[in-house]
Amino acid sequence: MSYCNTDKDTSTSSTINSITSSPSLSSLSSTSSVVVGPISNHHGKDEKFEEYQQTLNEICQGMYKARCLNMVTELNIAAMLTDGQKYSCDELAEQVGVDAKSLFKVMRALSTMGIFNHHTDGLESVDSHLFSQSPISKMLLDTDTRNLLLYECGDFSYKSWLNIGDTVKTGVSSIPKSFGADSFIGALHKNQKDLNIFEKGMTGMTRPGIPKLLQQSDFSKFDIVADIGGCQGVLIQEILKYNKNIKKGINFDLPITIENNRLHLDRVNVDPRFIEIEGSFFEQVPQADCYILSKIMMDDEPSKKILEIIRQSIKPNGKVYIYDCILEKESQNYSYKCWVDVHLWHSLNSSGRTIREWRELAKSAGFKVDQFIGESLIVMSKLISD
């Protein structure tokens, strides 16, 4: 079947009609009023038709690309190319125990995006099996980058997106139901491997951004700083390292997360000011001068609840530092942030917010926004009641 046959005015219409009659799109077709017509103008095909088609094709291939990247990351192929030499993917395949022809095809495809260098000595040598490290594939040697990719492109994330349609229909994250759980975290707890990959992935996402966050944030006036939903405690430990005035740094998270940290992480060689407290931020949080909320803000009502709980415990003149997505069209990486917003909504019914929305959320919970710093830091303080 050809999707770009323009010999007849009705070709595109009939093709789309045949596609939308398929079972996978039947629910959409039955609930939507879709007007289908030819996409060509009276002079013929739109002059940018092929450009638009290529854009759509590349979007469709996103799934393949992510899964192939996950696979070579799991196999740790980049670690085998560290000396800058050319390697035959046949030898690499033998070392990691996979099919040589399959690995070649994947590495060749990834090389077109700059992941690995594919060495072809002539125009007819695209079948060359020689590869070397590239600047992008070298990033796979970084522990944080590797851990983030293994989560974002891994099995749990892939399965999580199978039912995005249900999230769109209901406005409620479909992930818990897909895994037979009552929450996103509950879905992760169904499989210890998934939970471990997630926690390492969150650390991998957090740690690279810490220097910039520290540069933007002033902790000089606080005695007690609490990272609410701090996962493995990486952020609060870095804050303690550069702020000797802080007397206590608290990593606050769910009991199962804190227990996981005790079992799998070094909790002996840590700053003596660092402590971990378990609990739910919907019920109670430890008292502090400064609360950090890093990418945990959900839909409006749960986010309001978190802030209201903090309001009960925050010390006089305390601050709330929210590290999250500020959605403004003029901001850098606007497209990336919009997709992060979709990701957050589908996963947790969490949202990026505009400046206006952040102000409204703060006011609804008895806070005010003092500052927006950069494109990801919102500083709040408690409103003083009359």
Whole-number pLDDT of residue 27: 40
For residue 48, the SS3 value is coil
Average pLDDT value for residue range 370-384: 93
Q: What is the pTM of this model?
A: 0.77
Q: Which residues contact 43 (CB under 8 A, 6 or more apart)?
A: none
* Kind of pairing between the strands at 314-323 and 288-294: parallel
Here the tokens at position 128 are 């060359």
For residue 198, the SS3 value is helix
Smallest CA-to-CA distance from 273 within 223, 229, 232, 320 is with 223
Spell out the CATH class of 207-382: alpha beta
**pLDDT for 317 beyond 60:** yes
Distance CA 351, CA 355 (A): 13
Whole-number pLDDT of residue 46: 75
- DSSP for 303-361, written as a single string: HHHHHHHHHHHEEEEEEEEEE--B--TTSTTHHHHHHHHHHHHHHHSB--B-HHHHHHH
What are the φ and ψ backbone dihedral angles of 322, each rounded to 5 degrees?
Answer: -105, 115
**pLDDT for 134 beyond 50:** yes
Give yes or no on whether 62-141 and 207-382 have one common fold: no
Fold classification of 62-141 is Arc Repressor Mutant, subunit A (1.10.10)
DSSP assignment, residue 90? H
**Domain limits, the chain:** 11-47, 62-141, 159-199, 207-382
Whole-number pLDDT of residue 20: 38
Query: pLDDT by residue (tens digit) across 275-305?
Result: 999 999 999 999 999 999 998 888 889 999 9
| Total residues found in the chain within this entry | 386
